[in-house]
Structure 1
Amino acid sequence: MEAALDDVFVDDITFPATDGYSLAGTLFLPRGAKGHAVLINSATAVPRKIYRGFASYLAHRGCAVLTYDYRGIGGSRLPTMVGYNQPKSLVGFNASMSDWAALDVTAAVRWMRERYTTLPFAYIGHSFGGQALGLIENNSEVSRALFVASQAATWRLMAPPEKYSVFAFMNFVGVPLAHMLGYAPGWVGIGEDLPKGVFLQWAEWVSSPRYLFDSKLPALENFAKFKGELRALCFSDDPWATRPAVELLAAGFTATRPEVLTVKPSDVGAKSIGHFGFFRPEHRDALWRGAAEWIQGE
């Protein structure tokens, strides 16, 4: 364990998914007393390092925070046996988005809950990370959930012209390429490389009118198990997580009353926020502070 900035301890760890697969995570701990436990759940094809600044900020405020990578992503991608520190090919790697939820997110929630039994437990979901909360069987362990640009990501609810670009890319570029190569390469603009099964399920959901709600996943019944507080943030310049898309996802949580807030960049003195901007450090004194205060019930 090494000391980091702002009196926050940072520790890279591994923990087992529900099927035993080893997941890479980073634990951020305050030097003083811990008042809350927080799990940050990543967007699709996004490595956990993107959330490092926000996680450190929360730890500085007294939270024990875990970030982690889903299987096949970042530190949770197996290394090759040949060469130095090179990731193993994802060809033949078996994983789907529903696997990410059932095997990886479920395990991360369990790991944090078992480790910090007495602390209030908050869940932060960025994009897919928010969607996953509705799919996991142990979401009742979470007392507060903050969604950041998390939506039912059907192309139909995205802003034009982006919606047409996404539909065309997914179906006419991404899907054929995933079948041809055996995985979805990050160089096409999706972020990190994705396992074939993850990308194909994602593309299927994006093409469906109600996104994952049109699937026949048995795990959809878990949406009704979440009874905690839910706040969903959407940003007016985000072409993917538009307010209708965020509202559609939030409406799936029928056992609580989600609060959906739209933030304009001008509200926080910014030129842009978009789908990823919330996690930029320049929003420390505005977006981060407001989010932290809500997570900590202040």
Structure 2
Amino acid sequence: MEKLQIRADGDTTLAMRLYRPADSAAPRAGIVIGGAMGVRQGFYETFAKWLAAQGFLVATFDYRGTGDSLPDGQSMRDVRADLFDWAHDYEAVIGATHAQLNGAPLYLFGHSLGAQLPGLLRDPKRVSGLISIAAGSGYWRDNAPQLRRSILYFWYVLVPIATRLFGYFPGRKLRKVGDLPSGVMLQWRKWCLDPLYSVGAEGEPVRASYGAVRFPVLALSITDDELMTLRGTQTLVGLYANAPREVQRIAPADVQARRIGHFGFFREQFSGSLWPRAVESLGQLAGMVAQRTA
């Protein structure tokens, strides 16, 4: 594993990790893992190492203002970033990874937010496909029932007050999501209060951006996801209106597990079941394109 510093938007430094295949052969493909909101890239390390052992060149990263991409000595309250900036960060990592592939395809594994932001890429042509994992629109009515009971208090009371008081969202103190720059949190709030999520909240430019995506989108929807429902996943996938797209459901019983949930897919206990399925899903992306063009 290599720890790298790359640039996004000219003057922003991002922390990126690159996991190379163990042998000297050219990688089968490149994979960029786009993380969930408030989740540091280290969470995906075991999964990334496993993918590298299967012959892939794998990249993880922290969005600007978070994790290792928050410069030493800088307070999060001084970070000026929103979700469009984070999409630019994603794109910078895609570019850095693509440059090392010598023509091999590049895929995205997007966890939650990591499957939402690819619709905002300015140059989606470098991407050959997206595997969406435990992702949905985020609209509050599409949240799982147990979350929906408290989510309006979260969006209308806790988020505005805490963000104003601290100058950022202090999620670690509150045990909610994680620490997030104020611009990110307040924009995410706007998205989650709109039935069409980012497209509804931001209007035609974002609708056109999602519409420009042509790479296939395969969504793996977890039946016991405590945050994302099937309806939320279908809403998100529907935003990629011109892309080949498909939703597949995964239940814990399918892999002889008691629970998967929103985060479980990336835990090592699934290295013999869900992780091989993710690799197999890459092969399905080409078939989705062929079916669309047939």
Q: Give TM-score scaled by structure 2 length.
A: 0.92
| Partner secondary structure for residue 27 of structure 1 | strand
Q: Which amino acid aligns with 1:106?
A: E
Gaps of 5+ in 2: 287-294
Alignment of 1:1-298 (within 5 A): 10-32=1-23, 33=25, 34-80=27-73, 88-101=74-87, 103-185=88-170, 186-216=172-202, 218-295=205-282
| Partner secondary structure for residue 161 of structure 1 | helix
The answer to whether the Cα contact below 8 Å between 2:224 and 2:261 also exists between their aligned partners in 1 is yes
CA distance in 1, matches of 2:217, 2:146: 30
Query: Deviation at 1:39?
Result: 0.4
Q: Which amino acid aligns with 1:23?
A: L
Aligned residue number for residue 291 of structure 2: none
**Could you list the per-position Cα deviations for residues 235-281 of structure 1 after superposition, in whole angstroms to 9, with x for gaps in the alignment?**
11113211110011101112222110111111111111111110000
CA distance in 2, matches of 1:193, 1:240: 18
Query: Deviation at 1:296?
Result: 5.1
Gaps of 5+ in 1: 1-9, 81-87
Aligned residue number for residue 290 of structure 2: none
Q: What's the Cα RMSD here?
A: 1.5
Aligned residue number for residue 84 of structure 1: none
| Partner secondary structure for residue 65 of structure 1 | strand
Query: Deviation at 1:165?
Result: 1.2
CA distance in 1, matches of 2:121, 2:269: 33
CA distance in 2, matches of 1:62, 1:20: 33
Query: Deviation at 1:141?
Result: 1.4
The answer to whether the Cα contact below 8 Å between 1:167 and 1:207 also exists between their aligned partners in 2 is no
The answer to whether the Cα contact below 8 Å between 2:228 and 2:262 also exists between their aligned partners in 1 is yes
| Partner secondary structure for residue 98 of structure 2 | helix
| Partner secondary structure for residue 260 of structure 2 | coil
Query: Deviation at 1:131?
Result: 0.4
Cα pair distance change 1:166/1:68, threshold 3 Å = same
| Partner secondary structure for residue 135 of structure 2 | coil
| Partner secondary structure for residue 149 of structure 2 | helix
The answer to whether the Cα contact below 8 Å between 1:134 and 1:253 also exists between their aligned partners in 2 is yes
CA distance in 2, matches of 1:14, 1:256: 32
CA distance in 2, matches of 1:214, 1:37: 32
| Partner secondary structure for residue 271 of structure 2 | helix
The size of the alignment, in residue pairs, is: 281
CA distance in 1, matches of 2:8, 2:54: 28
Tell me which protein shows more helix as a share of its residues.
2
**Could you list the per-position Cα deviations for residues 173-204 of structure 1 after superposition, in whole angstroms to 9, with x for gaps in the alignment?**
12211011100012212343110111111111
Which region of structure 1 is more displaced relative to structure 2, 46-55 or 104-113?
104-113
Runs of 4+ residues over 3 Å off in structure 1 = none
Q: Give TM-score scaled by structure 1 length.
A: 0.90
Cα pair distance change 1:190/1:140, threshold 3 Å = farther
| Partner secondary structure for residue 279 of structure 2 | helix
**Could you list the per-position Cα deviations for residues 73-96 of structure 1 after superposition, in whole angstroms to 9, with x for gaps in the alignment?**
11001111xxxxxxx311131111
Aligned residue number for residue 4 of structure 1: none
